Structure 1
Amino acid sequence: MATLKEILAKKIEEFRPRTTRLVKEFGDVKIGDVTISQAIGGARDVKCLVTDISYLDPHEGIRFRGKTIPETFEALPKAPNSNYPTVEAFWFFLLTGDVPTQAQVDEVIAEWKTRQVVPSYVWDAIRGLPRDSHPMVMLSVGLLAMQRDSKFAAFYNSGKFNKNVAWESVYEDACDIVARIPIVAAFIYNLKYRSDFQVPIDPKLDMGANFAHMIGQCEDYKDVARMYFILHSDHESGNVSAHTTHLVHSALSDPYYAYSAGINGLAGPLHGLANQEVLDWTLKFQEKYCKDQEPTKELVTKALWDTLNSGQVVPGYGHAVLRKTDPRYMSQREFCLNTPGLKDDKLFKLVAMIFETAPGVLMEHGKAKNPWPNVDAQSGVIQWYYGVREWDFYTVLFGVGRALGCMANITWDRGLGYAIERPKSVTTAMLEKWAEESKKAASN
């Protein structure tokens, strides 16, 4: 007698051609206001989410509150002795759309200091995990452990819940999360990679600088942290981490539940985990093709063709929405080019040559819809240069930054009273019926 798993395997194999045929032959058939290919293909390009925090234009890239990345960096008050704004200034800007004054930035910095104290039971919960647990598991557990202090949950359970003011307690939770998450991330880094050597908070430093201080980094890394957290903060609402956070919070789950879920989505290799995969690939590429020689255009071109002809992809190139080089990539590239030592680093030189070469190769190859690099193609190089070489931690860094956008968005979700998210699903048989009806109508 066949087992349940064997029966299921047979049914899946029988079912797959139905889905394949629908996408291939009837992908453009409308079912309501979307096509069959959109329904099957992850709701790609379906305009059904609203956010004013950021917008991703396929040809222009991300805009934060209407400003491009260079415009954002230029407009916001800078950290002391830095060309980059503080994360606190950016948080004010994300929430309000207004460029803060220095006094307003200082107020946010001071407020975050009062919120950065993480309860000891959070450390106990993280330490209770096996030491070889992935750092994203530790971050997710840390967030859930902090849920005990959720002000939104307390307000909902108080018997005095009022949807018109519910955003206020979401705001309190959101501020606690964005202030505490870099502290939790630094704790995880030190626990896993520095023999549990924990460094206390420096009350004089802004968030990015304090994170650098807590993981034992150099002065230059303070700007790396500020830049990295801001660049990874938000990418409109359709990406997995942002959408998951919004979806879970739409059920009035508190921000800790919601962002823990978002973090779990971010940990996927098709989302935030991609940055460590790109670095792994780049290092192997360097070892195989450029170990003892300069990465010339001719050498890299041949190596890329060898890669593609062997059936592999060039990771870090292509994006679900963008149809140009990711401006976040360009911001990090500019940082590298303006940093003595880093611009001459062998790994950066290789990444730079791949950037100059890969789009042409990919266009000639013809299978890539977008031959341009995304943010992941550059992110790991900077971390590697500064000695943060534990690449399974890179997605935690991403998660610290992404908290800013996710928390700003759900604060506004509650402020505007958005409903629980509940799209309508259909069956494959219904799709097949609509496809046949469309086929008959076209033949008449």
Structure 2
Amino acid sequence: MASFLSNSVRSLVRKVPNTATAQATRSVTTLQETLMAQVPGKQAELAKLKKEHGSHVIGEVTIDQCIGGARGIKAMLWETSNLDPEEGIRFRGLTIPDCQAVLPTYSGVKGDGEPLLESLLWLLLTSEVPTKEQVDSLTAELHSRAELPAHVIPLLNSLPKDMHPMTQFSIGLNACQTESVFAKAYNDGVPKTDYHEYVLEDILSVIAKLPEIAAIIYRNVYHDGVVNKDTSLDYSGNFCRMLGYDNPSFDELMRLYLCIHTDHEGGNASAHTTHLVGSTLSDPYISYAAGLNALAGPLHGLANQEVLRWIQALKDKFDAEGKAVNEETITEFAWETLNAKKVIPGYGHAVLRKTDPRYTCQREFALKHMPDDELFKVVETIYQVMPGILKEHGKVANPYPNVDSHSGVLLWHYGFTQYQYYTVLFGVSRAVGGLCQLYWDRALGLPLERPKSVTPEWLWSQVKK
């Protein structure tokens, strides 16, 4: 092992600011120890699969798939989650209700409150459900890694306030790349077999630094620029304090929001981009910055703000006309949207063919915490009538709501009304899924991704055959 690693990050239990906490965490198995024990077995299993079954055919490609965005083509190994069209997302085999039942919460009582993001990070990396003690040790470690390089805050403060928050977010993370342990180790010539150890260091540091970058942008653009921390709290709670929110109910919403947006298997644009750029051996900082740029598109991460705009336009129209917002008026507005050849924001999904479980858990949160909220009632009524309208319309493969159909309304309830910023919250969360997979990309020695493209003439030649 190169001396570079031993001088900076070789110890499996990092020192944290609170000595008592550091001593307590030493009695539990650390995240790093858990992963180092798993890697050899995973490597051997994948090598056996490739050697014994590498020629086994798992699918076929149609011309529609080739020219239609590669939808449904099975061509990527993804460790951390799987999205079934009928069942929805599973994180390491666990559904969202499973995660809510078994992952540690802030209170320490499983099922009492929403899972901590740190617990889902542990689960996605290791495939194991962590103990509360393990999660607490990971929280302390993330807080110890969160300090931004000295040049980053002045850079963020210098950016134009009218620059889109996602553009600022990407710039801020790219600027942190000066701290990359993997980039330095690669330049020092460490062997490929050790890449994953250095990549893990970067992954934990990127995840740790993202909340402050995001909070600085939020406070600069919408408030006074002041960011206050509270590292006595968990990752999500501290993020809420940095944003300027001090409400235990909002803390719970943020825990739920960050957990359910972490991962949605590998084919989505932000996860795939992170994986693709990482396959070039770019470090996790710039790999995930690329993923953020993919997330910033209106067909991906910006979709939730489009939903809120549509709901508010609906409400404003009928308020101005002196009409109640009900099943009849919602149906009228939906058909106006569809007849204008526009989509209904928040409905449909590239893979799912049922109500998105991420929508369902947010609906349950709203029923528990804000059942009388006016916008929630609108969303609930839309949920009752929209599938029937879209089925009648007949041009939507999935007439059911997705995650974006609900998330903006929950944030709005707590006074978080700056919907242009919502995708930044998504970006803080999606780092966990994309970067956990990036760890296993390097641990398993996955190669540079390089699919074969074909020309239209080649496709015509296949048809003529």
TM-score by length of 2: 0.84
Q: Secondary structure at the match of 1:63?
A: strand
Q: Secondary structure at the match of 2:305?
A: helix
1:162 paired with 2:191, answer yes
1:147 paired with 2:177, answer yes
Please state how far the C-alpha of 1:182 moved relative to its aligned partner.
1.1
CA contact (8 A) 1:178 1:400 kept: yes
- Give the residue type in structure 1 aligned to 2:326: T
Query: Corresponding residue for 1:134?
Result: 164
Unaligned stretches of 5+ residues in structure 1 = 1-31, 438-444
CA contact (8 A) 1:89 1:100 kept: yes
1:176 paired with 2:205, answer yes
1:326 paired with 2:359, answer no
Distance 1:356 1:50 in 2: 37
CA contact (8 A) 1:55 1:63 kept: yes
1:44 to 71, 82, 86: 71
CA contact (8 A) 2:165 2:420 kept: yes
Superposed, which structure 2 residues align to 1:315-354 within 5 Å? 315-339=345-369, 342-354=370-382
Q: Secondary structure at the match of 1:202?
A: coil
CA contact (8 A) 2:326 2:381 kept: yes
Query: Corresponding residue for 1:196?
Result: 225
- Give the residue type in structure 2 aligned to 1:116: A
Please state how far the C-alpha of 1:69 moved relative to its aligned partner.
0.3
Please state how far the C-alpha of 1:310 moved relative to its aligned partner.
3.1
Please state how far the C-alpha of 1:187 moved relative to its aligned partner.
1.2
1:90 to 120, 144, 165: 120
CA contact (8 A) 2:307 2:405 kept: yes
Distance 1:281 1:134 in 2: 20
Q: Secondary structure at the match of 1:165?
A: helix
Please state how far the C-alpha of 1:213 moved relative to its aligned partner.
1.1
Aligned length: 402
1:187 paired with 2:205, answer no
CA contact (8 A) 1:87 1:208 kept: yes
Distance 2:319 2:342 in 1: 18
Please state how far the C-alpha of 1:313 moved relative to its aligned partner.
2.0
Distance 2:242 2:397 in 1: 42
Please state how far the C-alpha of 1:86 moved relative to its aligned partner.
1.2
- Give the residue type in structure 2 aligned to 1:239: N
Distance 2:200 2:413 in 1: 36
Distance 1:311 1:138 in 2: 33
CA contact (8 A) 2:318 2:324 kept: no
1:68 to 95, 98, 118: 95
Distance 1:293 1:327 in 2: 32
- Give the residue type in structure 2 aligned to 1:267: A
Superposed, which structure 2 residues align to 1:288-299 within 5 Å? 288-290=317-319, 294-299=324-329
Distance 1:303 1:274 in 2: 19
- Give the residue type in structure 2 aligned to 1:412: W
1:378 paired with 2:406, answer yes
2:240 to 188, 212, 227: 212
1:34 paired with 2:83, answer no
Distance 2:205 2:374 in 1: 40
Distance 1:244 1:267 in 2: 12
Distance 2:395 2:448 in 1: 39
Deviations 1:221-266 (A, max 9, x none): 1011110010000000000000000000000000011000000000
CA contact (8 A) 1:191 1:198 kept: no
Distance 2:331 2:319 in 1: 12
Please state how far the C-alpha of 1:289 moved relative to its aligned partner.
2.4
Q: Secondary structure at the match of 1:418?
A: coil
Deviations 1:383-424 (A, max 9, x none): 111111111100000000000001100001000000000001
2:335 to 300, 305, 326: 305
Please state how far the C-alpha of 1:294 moved relative to its aligned partner.
4.1
Please state how far the C-alpha of 1:281 moved relative to its aligned partner.
1.2
Unaligned stretches of 5+ residues in structure 2 = 1-58
Distance 1:52 1:293 in 2: 50
2:280 to 242, 251, 259: 251
Aligned pair in 2 of structure 1 residues 312, 42: CA closer, same or farther (>3 Å)?
closer
Query: Corresponding residue for 1:394?
Result: 422
Please state how far the C-alpha of 1:305 moved relative to its aligned partner.
2.1
1:358 paired with 2:386, answer yes
Query: Corresponding residue for 2:440?
Result: 412
1:428 to 415, 437, 456: 456
Please state how far the C-alpha of 1:296 moved relative to its aligned partner.
2.1
Q: Secondary structure at the match of 2:151?
A: helix
Moved more, 231-240 or 114-123: 114-123
Query: Corresponding residue for 1:9?
Result: none
Deviations 1:354-396 (A, max 9, x none): 0110000110111111100110010100111111111110000
Query: Corresponding residue for 1:102?
Result: 132
Query: Corresponding residue for 1:232?
Result: 261
Aligned residues with identical type, % of pairs: 49
Query: Corresponding residue for 1:23?
Result: none
Distance 1:105 1:427 in 2: 50
Q: Secondary structure at the match of 2:86?
A: coil
- Give the residue type in structure 2 aligned to 1:234: D
Distance 2:396 2:62 in 1: 23
CA contact (8 A) 1:295 1:349 kept: no
